[in-house]
Amino acid sequence: MKKIAVLGAGGFIGNHLVNKLKLEGNYVTAVDLKHPEFEQSKADNFKIGDLREKDFVQELFVEPFDEVYQLAADMGGAGYVFTGEHDADIMHNSAQINLNVVETLKSSQAKIFYSSSACIYPEENQKDALNPICSEDSAFPANPDSEYGWEKLFSERLYLSYARNYGLDIRIARFHNIFGPNGTFQGGREKAPAAICRKVILAKDGDSIEVWGSGAQTRSFLYIDECLQAVEKLMNSDVRVPLNIGSSEMISINDLTRMVIQLSGKNLNIKNIDGPIGVNGRCSDNQLIAKLLSWQPNYPLQKGMESLYSWVKSQV
Ligand code: NAD
């Protein structure tokens, strides 16, 4: 039985990860500012606390862990990270968490997972909605389009430098839009798939669904179960360079909305309105992960959206 800490275990990915690690028979300590919103955590031990506080982090890691998953971050969907209104908090809060974690764990033997993001990739490589460049080696020269992306890039380098100088045993993934049940679907931090499901579920025949931007902006979305399989493969490998974990099934946001409208069986239109959209195009480039981990996703977007849609429907 491994002893594992999951930081950010009250959030979407962290809570799913705790469930998986528990099913596999591990002893799991969960840490977050809050408990999961939609179900009770299955962790053996849930510590409520603020990872920005160094004393709290030092106390947490007095106990040795075999693995630490660092998922805690001040984050949200486009409505949270791309308006500019939360930039200072995003940079300060997430950087502070990561600084505390690496410094406290610098002489630890634990294997440490850090969740970075596709948002680190340069804006100019993602202007063409149909041909975005998101290969791992395209990260530099750096020019992320959001402070959220800059903080993730800084923290990747923080973990890499602690690995180089203090021997920290790290694994880093750049997640590309992970989605599925039990994630935020309202309140301002929700991501496009859940927000679209909510809007469609609440609409009546003849209504228009508001979609930010022209709707031609593209993304790819990876179902949570597949994301966690890839994380497991990465943790069990000796790959210490940042790897994309995402789907390569690219879709425009208007087409994603059409997919959800079709699932609903309703007669709805799309109305494109001004709003924060981020880059024009983004899609996971999976060549490196296929080569290094022999991993590729195979869960079709449609299937994942059906599962998300029925879960959001049960909540609305
Ligand atoms: P989430 O917002 O649901 O979870 C993050 C959790 O961190 C929240 O529960 C929050 O309360 C906790 N947290 C924030 N500040 C904290 C603090 N000071 N102390 C303790 N806990 C704190 O996000 P998620 O979707 O589960 O994402 C998990 C990680 O993966 C994040 O680092 C995120 O940036 C990264 N990521 C996610 C996606 C995605 O599509 N979901 C994409 C790219 C990267």
Q: How many domains, in total, are found in the chain?
A: 2
135 shares a domain with 96:
yes
Give me ligand 1 centre to Cα 13, in Å. 7
CATH number of the CATH domain containing 42: 3.40.50.720
Question: Do residues 23 and 17 make contact, with C-beta atoms less than 8 angstroms apart?
Answer: no
Same domain, 105 and 46: yes
Q: Is beta strand 250-252 parallel, antiparallel or unpaired with respect to 218-220?
A: antiparallel
75 Cα–ligand 1 center, Å: 6
8 ligand 1 Cβ < 6 A: yes
Ligand 1 contact, 282 CB (< 6 A): no
- Shared domain check, 136 and 33: yes
CA separation for the pair 118, 136 (Å, rounded): 9
Query: Does 92 share its domain with 190?
Result: no
Span from the CA of 207 to the centroid of ligand 1 (angstroms): 33
Per-residue pLDDT of the chain (316 residues; tens, 9 = 90+): 999 999 999 999 999 999 999 999 999 999 999 999 999 999 999 999 999 999 999 999 999 999 999 999 999 888 899 999 999 999 999 999 999 999 999 999 999 999 999 999 999 999 999 999 999 999 999 999 999 999 999 999 999 999 999 999 999 999 999 999 999 999 999 999 999 999 999 999 999 999 999 999 999 999 999 999 999 999 999 999 999 999 999 999 999 999 999 999 999 999 999 999 999 999 999 999 999 999 999 999 999 999 999 999 999 9
- 13, 47, 190, 225: which to mutate for ligand 1, most atoms within 8 A of CB? 13
C-beta 194 within 6 A of ligand 1? no
Range of the domain at 207: 181-220+249-281+300-315
Element (H, E) at 224: helix 224-235
Q: Are residues 229 and 164 in the same domain?
A: yes
Q: Are 105 and 168 in contact (CB under 8 A)?
A: yes
Amino acid identity for residue 189 in this structure? R
- The CA 155 to ligand 1 mean position distance, Å, reads 14
Residues with catalytic function: 148
Within-domain flag for 293 = no
Reference 112, options 151, 57, 167; nearest CA is 167
User: Which among 108, 67, 76, 68 has a CA at the least distance from the CA of 94?
Assistant: 76
Of 72, 36, 35, the C-alpha closest to 57 is: 72
Binding site membership of 172 for ligand 1 (Cβ less than 6 Å): no
For β-strands 243-245 and 111-117, DSSP reports them as: unpaired
Asked whether 52 lines ligand 1 (CB < 6 A), one says yes
Residues 118 and 146 in one domain: yes
Cα–chain-centroid distance for residue 31? Answer: 17
pTM of the model: 0.98
> Residues 145, 209: one domain?
no
Q: What is the 3-state secondary structure (H, E, C) of 280-292?
A: CECCCCCHHHHHH
Does any domain span residue 286?
no
